[in-house]
Structure 1
Amino acid sequence: MAMNQIPGQNIYIGGIFCLKNKAALDRANITHVVSVLRLAPSENLFSDFKQHRIDIDDVDDENLLEHLPAAVNFIQSGLDAGGSVLVHCAMGKSRSATVCIAYMLHQQRSGLTPQSALEVIRQSRPLCEPNDGFMEQLNLYHEMGCPDEVADHPVYQRWLYRREVEESVACGRAPELKSVRFEDEQPQRPQEPTAQVVEIKCRKCRRGIADSKYIISHDQEKKESNKYRSNQECAHVFLHPMKWMRPSLFPEAGPNDYEGDAPLTGRLACPNTSCGANLGKFAWQGLQCNCGQWVVPAIGLAKARVDIANKAPVRGAGNLPPTALGIRMPPGMRGPESSDGSGRGNL
């Protein structure tokens, strides 16, 4: 199949066979080629071009995200040199489209989404359709702000950690301790100067458990079934792993031990050893919140066993609501402060 030009760009997308059409490549002034496939074509096909190669297959669980910044940079270098760029895979449908979408997102961070960029490409090449895994990675790339490097970004690190967890669960076991990302051991980004945060404490001993940085937001799904009501308050607050959870998540591991079996599911105990209250539960394979949303992996604090309240606002924050400050909290924690003093529903 022929290669097609992306509207408004000196970028072309196609399958591997378009490399044999020298006349078309010359007419398009192709100087740079991005090859997104594991197949090794004849080197003679690329003798007249600068080539950037990404060796991956077109399957959902391939990590194309880690290659996007370098591919975007290579495409830009070709355009800056006054040439045109061909991005190809085997059929010009999934892998090549993903790389082209990433470039478009990088150029128009606020003007495009992965889906809208795909629609632009489909104007000239309707068959383009990145697989579901690649679309998820494009959404993450967009969420990160299309950075020039993704390896150290917290969003990327969490995604890698989740992939490891899913692989372990698929084998019927919990992840290894050494692969778990404890969020409070990671470098923290500077807090917004106007940020207002929620503090979670054990209801029994008042020990601090977590704050907004460690909460996993999840949206309530609207269900037609009576079992899940769209206005039903979530019974749990879901957290990223934190180091105080280690004895609950890995009960057989010693303080300096990173080996040993661990349960797939279990209870979370208060880190205050003189308290030890049951605060909630965890399930590496995921839990379905009573609002209907699945959280995977799931580490949930039962709202009935903790107190949730606003911390004193950071200087300059005034009484701005968290939504105005860019803090997106789970359902059931977005309403006004409750009158019973429990902190439930605060924010």
Structure 2
Amino acid sequence: MALLDKVPGELKLYIGGIFTLRRRDALREANITHVLSVLRMPLDDDLFSPYNHHVVQVDDVDDENLLEHFPATNRFIQDGLDGGGGVLVHCAMGKSRSATCVIAYLMQKHHISVSEALSQVQQARPIVEPNEGFMKQLELYGQMQTPESVEDTPAYQRWVYQREIELSRAVGQAPEAEKIRFEDEHVTDQAASFELRCRKCRRPLATSQYLIAHDSSKSTNDQGPISSIAETARDCAHYFLDPLSWMRPELEQGKLDGRLECPKCHANVGKYAWQGMQCSCNEWIVPGISLSKSRIDQVKKAAVSEIRRPPGPAVSSPVNPRQNL
């Protein structure tokens, strides 16, 4: 009799496809008590009647949000193992969706990387290959340090915001006002290295932790690849940045693009385009929210007695994982 595909180690954790549920003798021999189904399709209740059963209804597509389910699937797997029985995680083919959930569990359980967890699962089932979108979600989950609640994590909130921007971009519309994430209302603990001020009235508009670094593989200078916010800002005509609360009156109007004015002197200091904007260095930034270098002064932190941020409630949160200041 063929055995089930068991993840290496002492855990009674198994992975398979939908047809694995037909192998009753093998399931009984493995003492399977919990079954996690990760798929969206009609399921025969008779297949699950002997087991504790949990379903996550997702499709095997890159833009499906499986990340939000990791805490619940991890708890279900752990509950099954703690009860002394075996746990089977399955999808349609036992290749992508089920593997993603097993990898997420192993990352949290053993504090290991995505690649290490993937290698373990592939030892059990060589065909395992999560789709590209799920792999990115696993990488983000690792960067978030596999929290018990992902929805309260700023990195997850930013990721959801970026998904909303992409969706709005796909349909040619500006994002809904309530879905715009004003980053200074989620202040990081990361120290600012410099401040950007309106050249006309000297009003502080942003600090360096809100700037978006360009892709170093696409943007270069005379010395080689650009690898920092400071170098990007120095070599390009614009500072690209996250939405900040002083931009709220303009960004919440529902326009696809427009101008940004200094909230104090109303000088034109930049522009925005939700569909994206090309920098002078040819890098394409989505969304494109920029301050013009010719209208802004950059002031080093050492010259600033107190870093002043645009108005907005100060809420402590972890460092933004996609920035490297």
The question of 1:303 aligning with 2:293 is answered: yes
Shift of residue 313 of structure 1?
10
Q: Counterpart of 1:45?
A: 47
Q: What amino acid is aligned across from residue 301 of structure 1 in structure 2?
A: L
Q: What amino acid is aligned across from residue 101 of structure 2 in structure 1?
A: V
Secondary structure of 2:149 counterpart: coil
Bigger RCO of structures 1 and 2 (CA < 8 A, at least 6 apart): 2
Shift of residue 81 of structure 1?
1.8
Q: What amino acid is aligned across from residue 7 of structure 1 in structure 2?
A: P
Secondary structure of 1:158 counterpart: helix
Q: Counterpart of 2:315?
A: none
Shift of residue 183 of structure 1?
2.2
Shift of residue 291 of structure 1?
4.7
Shift of residue 217 of structure 1?
3.6
Q: What amino acid is aligned across from residue 267 of structure 2 in structure 1?
A: A
The structure with the greater share of residues assigned to helix is 2
Q: TM-score, normalised by structure 2?
A: 0.82
Q: What amino acid is aligned across from residue 66 of structure 1 in structure 2?
A: E
Question: Distance between the aligned counterparts of 1:53 and 1:84, measured in 2?
Answer: 17
The question of 1:269 aligning with 2:271 is answered: no
Aligned residue pairs total 301
Counterpart pick for 1:58 among 57, 60, 73: 60
Q: What amino acid is aligned across from residue 261 of structure 2 in structure 1?
A: A
Question: Distance between the aligned counterparts of 2:128 and 2:301, measured in 1?
Answer: 48
Q: Counterpart of 2:309?
A: none
Q: What amino acid is aligned across from residue 239 of structure 1 in structure 2?
A: L
Secondary structure of 1:123 counterpart: helix
1:202/1:37 CA distance change after superposition, 3 Å: same
Q: TM-score, normalised by structure 1?
A: 0.77
Q: What amino acid is aligned across from residue 287 of structure 2 in structure 1?
A: P
Q: What CA deviation, in whole Å up to 9, does each residue of 1:42-76 have, x standing for no partner?
A: 22211222112111111222211111111011111
The question of 1:107 aligning with 2:102 is answered: no
Q: What amino acid is aligned across from residue 247 of structure 1 in structure 2?
A: P
Question: Distance between the aligned counterparts of 2:164 and 2:192, measured in 1?
Answer: 33
Contact 1:235 1:303 in 2 (8 A): yes
Contact 1:32 1:50 in 2 (8 A): yes
The question of 1:156 aligning with 2:156 is answered: yes
Question: Distance between the aligned counterparts of 2:289 and 2:4, measured in 1?
Answer: 48
Q: Which runs of 5+ in 2 are unaligned?
A: 227-231, 305-318
The question of 1:230 aligning with 2:236 is answered: no
Shift of residue 286 of structure 1?
2.1
Question: Distance between the aligned counterparts of 1:294 and 1:107, measured in 2?
Answer: 39
Q: Which runs of 5+ in 1 are unaligned?
A: 254-261, 315-325, 335-347
Q: Counterpart of 1:342?
A: none
The question of 1:165 aligning with 2:161 is answered: no
1:287/1:143 CA distance change after superposition, 3 Å: farther
Contact 1:168 1:174 in 2 (8 A): yes
Where does 1:187-266 land on structure 2 (aligned, <5 Å)? 188=187, 191=189, 195=191, 197-222=193-218, 230-231=225-226, 233-250=235-252, 253=253, 262-266=254-258
Q: What CA deviation, in whole Å up to 9, does each residue of 1:228-276 have, x standing for no partner?
A: x7357344332221121123334xx4xxxxxxxx33223322222xx32
Q: What amino acid is aligned across from residue 262 of structure 2 in structure 1?
A: C
Shift of residue 180 of structure 1?
1.1
Question: Distance between the aligned counterparts of 1:218 and 1:118, measured in 2?
Answer: 30
